[in-house]
Amino acid sequence: MKFSTKAEYGLRAMVNLAKHYPGQKTAKLISKEEDISQKYLERLLATLCSEGIVDSSKGKSGGYVLARDPKKISAGEIIEVLEGSISPMRCAGEFCAAEKRCLSSIVWIELGQQIRKTLYSIKLDSLIRQKRRK
């Protein structure tokens, strides 16, 4: 299972904002610090804004800020907003037409549940605390 750059860059940007919470930062500054294309980052941030994870303000002193405390935002929430439903196989979710007849789907469903459980247990706050220890 591979996540795209949406998950990778989105999570990096959110950790960056979490380090400066409750302060705000511009997309330009985050882009520079994280080495992410500013246009791409702005699209990711717009998606996160539309889902209420990030707030933005326009103008000369505008920027982005986490909409909630970093203790209340999980990696799983960010990844699902940017990537869609977390599932190791297409057949392990809502798209499976043979789920009731296919006994092997149990493996993929259980795996998806464990991945989701792990990602939702990791909060932004714990990521910035981990980084500080190194």
Digit-coded pLDDT (tens) for 118-131: 999 999 999 998 75
Six token digits for residue 56: 């933005």
Write down the mean pLDDT value for the chain: 88
pLDDT category at 6 given cuts 50, 70, 90 is very high
Radius of gyration of the CA atoms of the chain, in A: 17
Q: Among the CATH numbers 3.40.720.10, 1.10.10.10, 3.30.465.10, 3.10.20.740, which is that of 5-85+124-133? A: 1.10.10.10
| pTM beyond cutoff 0.75 | yes
Number of other CB atoms surrounding residue 18 within 10 Å? 21
Digit-coded pLDDT (tens) for 48-87: 999 999 999 988 888 999 999 999 999 999 999 999 888 7
Digit-coded pLDDT (tens) for 36-45: 999 999 999 9
